[in-house]
Amino acid sequence: MTSSLELRGVSYSHPGAPARTLDAVSLQVASGEMLAVLGPSGSGKTTLLRLTAGLVTPAEGDVFVGGRSVLAEPPERRGLTMMFQQPHLFPHLDVLGNVAFADVVSGVPRRAARERAQRFLDLVHLRDLARRRPRELSGGQEQRVALARALAARPEVLLLDEPFSALDPELRSAMHDLLLEVRAMLEPTTLIVTHDLAEAALADRVAVVVDGRIEQVGPVDDLYREPATLTVARLVGGFTEVPGRLSGGVHSSVLGAVEVRGSRHGQPADGPAALLVRQESVEVVPAADARTGATGIVGRLSRSGARLVAHVEVAACSGHPGVTVRAELPPGRRVAPGARVGLLVAAACACVQAPTPQPAGTAGLATFSQSSEAPSGGTSAR
């Protein structure tokens, strides 16, 4: 049984915190849909989940499960279940007893509950571990049992609070596969909180939360193609913000004049604006190449997965400030630091107006996994 989930205008302040942890957040998750809430630590995303679960009470707003307000209900009567960062298996129960927990507390006879639990244990491929004690399991097995236990509660909505972040990368991707498998079979409505872009990509849609506000909601591809704000672009990473001026749909900067297509997030007004250029869409060519719009000096090289990224310093010219452009090199291609090269911008991203000057030290842009440098100071609360 799955239901839709809706948060409507939810606000929350941690006691003593100067800023709101969550500020008028609204989200809708359709029945059977999986929505990821993506944000740096301290963005309020875990609070969002705990508030949905009923473990904290919002100052304003309402929470609906299947169209019914559950704000007045205690956590256990909201039709939700939650997987925490830690598996939190009950140490005094064996694996099957853990998975059967929800049925047992709801009054199902122990034997029947354990029989049902066995089916969910099969689902997470741990059929043979039924009699084990939690302390005899590995970390990955513990989270599998926790997932089986959550599913056995047959929730209307499944809440996942970075449940795989403590696992090593290999186990994490195995858990991601398992999650997809389970989704295909049971289609639970799922709200997952994560700071990992790859994990968010498992979801149908992603909501980016920064400083307690939703910056963007949409498929994960949109975050790369059309980040709604500079903040989102900086968190996604891999963009160069080229300062310049926008005038009549043309952005002019040290890279020359670039025609900017409008985005679904709206075309910014004429004036100072940053052009967002993805590192994959910049080609490094010889400086003498006739097609090149700008030349620069290769500063340093960094690595992005299998590929090298050249950081090309383009000097200020004709009133436009200089900028360091990130350009991803094709596999096997190398350029020497100090060399003068030309840059070809294949397709610029939607132009985004600069609301704040870029903070110092973000030349190598922050990504979600290491986003301690969120643009404004932010709150230390979760």
H/E segment holding residue 34: strand 34-38
72 forms part of the interface with another protein (CB under 8 A): no
Size of the site for another protein (CB under 8 A): 29
Nearest to 175 by CA among 142, 137, 132: 142
Beta-carbon contacts of 113 under 8 Å, excluding residues fewer than 6 positions away, are 100, 103, 104
Alpha carbon distance 122, 342 (integer Å): 58
| DSSP character string of 82-122 | EE-SS----TTS-HHHHHTHHHHHTT--HHHHHHHHHHHHH
Determine if 88 is a binding residue for another protein (CB under 8 A).
Answer: yes
- Contacting residue, 134, 212, 296, 378, with another protein by CB under 8 A: 134
Stretch of residues binding another protein (CB under 8 A), selected from 100-108, 269-277, 298-306, 356-364:
100-108
Quick one: 12 or 101, whose CB is closer to another protein? 101
Query: To the nearest whole angstrom, how small is the minimum distance from the Cβ of residue 322 to another protein?
Result: 46
With CB under 8 A as the contact rule, the residue among 1, 18, 59, 90 that binds another protein is 90
User: 268 Cβ partners below 8 Å, 6+ apart?
Assistant: 246, 351, 352, 353
In the bound state with another protein, the residue whose beta carbon lies nearer, of 80 and 124, is 80
* CA-CA-CA-CA torsion sign (94, 100, 106, 111): negative
**Contact flags string 318-357 toward another protein, x per CB under 8 A:** ----------------------------------------
Query: Does the footprint of another protein cover residue 176 (CB under 8 A)?
Result: no
> Beta 213-218 vs 60-65: how paired, if at all?
unpaired
Site for another protein in 32-61 (CB under 8 A): 53, 55
Asked if 102 interacts with another protein (CB under 8 A), we say yes
Question: Residue 333 corresponds to which tokens in the numbers above?
Answer: 């291609």
> How far, in Å, CA of 256 to CA of 14, rounded?
47
Q: Which stretch binds another protein (CB under 8 A): 65-73, 142-150, 272-280, 347-355?
A: 142-150
- Could you tell me which residues come within 8 angstroms of residue 370 by beta carbon, excluding any fewer than 6 positions away? none
150 near another protein, rule: CB under 8 A: yes
Instruction: Return all residues near 184 (Cβ < 8 A) that are at least 6 apart.
Output: none
- Asked if 135 touches another protein (CB under 8 A), the answer is yes
Q: Rounded to whole angstroms, how far apart are CA atoms 38 and 223?
A: 11
Query: Would you say 152 or 351 has its CB closer to another protein?
Result: 152
Binding segment for another protein (CB under 8 A), chosen from 73-81, 230-238, 286-294, 352-360, is 73-81
62-70, 89-97, 174-182, 272-280 -> range binding another protein (CB under 8 A):
89-97
Task: Tell me the two tokens of residue 270.
Answer: 């004429």
Interface with another protein, residue 299, by CB under 8 A? no
Which residue, 91 or 338, has its beta carbon nearer to another protein?
Answer: 91
Shortest spacing between CB 272 and another protein, in angstroms: 47
Q: Which residues on neighbouring strands pair with residue 223, listed in sequence order? A: none
Interacting residues with another protein (CB under 8 A): 53, 55, 74-76, 80-82, 84, 86, 88, 90-92, 101-102, 104-106, 134-135, 139, 142, 149-150, 153, 159, 166-167
